Structure 1
Amino acid sequence: MASNSPDSDPKPQITNPPPKPTSKNKDFLTHLEIYLAKRDGVDKLLKISRYATKIILASSVLADEPLVTRLKSFESSVGVSRKALRLGKFIQDVNALRATQFSSHFHLNFVLSVIAYGGEGLYYFIEQFVWLGKAGLIDKRRLPALQKWSAWCEFVGYFGSVSLKVIELRKIDEEERCLLSSIDVTVLRGIECGKEQEKLRKLRGKKMMKRLSVVQDLADALMALADISDGRGRLSAPLLVSSAGLFSALISTHKNWVSC
């Protein structure tokens, strides 16, 4: 006869722990949470909504005047929100300038880096005062001058940025040619080149992202040029500038999403 003593504990039930999330099965909402936690992520979503609205307004597809008025108010509000979201962003350019080192062998890169980071940093710095003017803290009569200076600094910064990225693309092309030559020799010798193929794949992905970044900078430079010219000229047509802004926002959103 079996005895039921208090010392005999029941066997513990074994439960399977839930699987730990990995990079492969990470769901969309988790990725979205990480993306929206970044300032640039929110900024680019606002940029998409703003320039999509500007395209609708520039195309004159709406005949409802109250709706047009609401869209104009929304576009203006989003623009002010984006400026507030960029407070202190010039610090990243200050740190980038501090990290830039002069080298007699690459003096052109140093000069272009100063132009790129200096121009962009001044742009973000002046934009803080533009935001204060639009928010009503600074006399709005100063806004035209501030916006003009801001646009010039932005345009100069993009000139340096595009130049640097073109130089980097040339280096990537040269590295790609050398790697392809090495793979061809390896294949002829009958040796597996899995590591080289993987390196080539990553290099081509890097080149594609760099090309997209150049296109984005050119689109943003076009918008800065439109601000400098006060909307005059063929390159300052509202529909063209708005389309460039939306295209730039989509590219930047893709880059930030991939980096998450």
Structure 2
Amino acid sequence: MESESPAPNPHPQSPIIPVKPSSSDRDFLTHLEIYLTKRDGVDKLLKISRYATKIILASSILTQQPLITRLGSFESSVGISRKAFRLGKFVQDVNALRSTRFTTCLNLILYVIAYGGEGLYYFIEQFVWLGKAGLIDKRHLPALQKWSAWCEFMGYFGSISLKVRELRTLDAEEKCLMTSINLAMLRGIACGEEQGKLRKLREKKLMKRLSVIQDFADGLMSLADIRDGRGRLSSPVLVSAAGLLSALISSHKNWVSC
């Protein structure tokens, strides 16, 4: 007697796809652990502490010389530590250029300026760190820091240009979605999916605008380095405030993304 084969399951079990919990649903300490495992997460916390210290030192609110000396030593040490965190970071800009598909000649130029400038900046910063750590003769530091500042400034120029163009594209997409939603509402048609897309698009626009503000703040600091601290835009308080603003925005972006 032949054994009967089992009847096929009319409702086959679909594979279970793990869903990444949103940052708002995740436990705070778990989220913090993930944040601190990233190089950028630790780097931006160091940046916040460094520029908060620079604001205190530049504002002349302290009168006790021993405390001023300790804070100055702390700020300098954190600055060197941040440079150590950037070892090999230029590789991400090289890979970004390799993986980008250019649609126009202008896009090609802007991407090369943005990622090329930033990549050269991170590459030169490795030698600046070696100089500050004492392995390279410190006589080379002024030239290295000048080249580093110029590359950083050019990188931010290209980055801001690209993000402004992206914002214009997002504005056009938002107008199209708004038109579709308004027409659907006039016809009495449900448009929950379109409204969800609109919400995500507006969140993306907000993060892009914050990135532009961050790039302007970082560009101001690199311009101050190029000018060796001369000029009104190179005021220690202004530059330190720009650095703190940039660090806070970057920390927020990293927190949301992890």
TM-score (norm 1): 0.90
Distance 1:186 1:54 in 2: 54
Q: Which amino acid aligns with 1:117?
A: Y
In the alignment, structure 1 residue 193 sits paired with structure 2 residue 191: yes
Which runs of 4 or more aligned residues in structure 1 lie more than 4 Å from their structure 2 counterparts after TM superposition?
Answer: 21-25
Distance 2:196 2:84 in 1: 42
Q: Which residue of 2 aligns with 1:205?
A: 203
Equivalent runs, 1:10-159 vs 2, <5 Å: 23=22, 25-103=25-103, 106-159=104-157
Calculate percent identity across the aligned residue pairs: 78
Residue 97 of structure 1, CA deviation: 1.2
RMSD: 1.1
Q: Which amino acid aligns with 2:171?
A: D
Gaps spanning 5+ residues in structure 1: where? Answer: 1-20
Summarize the Cα distance change of 1:22–1:249 in structure 2 as closer, same or farther, 3 Å threshold: closer
Aligned length: 238
Equivalent residue in structure 2 for 1:253, among 225, 245, 251: 251
Conservation of the 8 A alpha-carbon contact between 1:52 and 1:246: yes
Q: Which amino acid aligns with 2:38?
A: K
Residue 101 of structure 1, CA deviation: 3.2
Distance 1:243 1:229 in 2: 18
Residue 25 of structure 1, CA deviation: 4.3
Distance 1:100 1:113 in 2: 8
My pick for the range that moved more, 41-50 or 22-31, is: 22-31
Q: Which residue of 2 aligns with 1:180?
A: 178
Distance 1:27 1:200 in 2: 28
Conservation of the 8 A alpha-carbon contact between 1:100 and 1:110: no
SS of alignment partner, residue 230 of structure 2: coil
Q: Which residue of 1 aligns with 2:226?
A: 228
Distance 1:127 1:158 in 2: 16
Residue 100 of structure 1, CA deviation: 2.5
Gaps spanning 5+ residues in structure 2: where? Answer: 1-19
Computing the radius of gyration over CA atoms, which structure comes out larger, 1 or 2? 1
Distance 2:92 2:115 in 1: 9
Residue 102 of structure 1, CA deviation: 3.8
Distance 1:132 1:29 in 2: 35
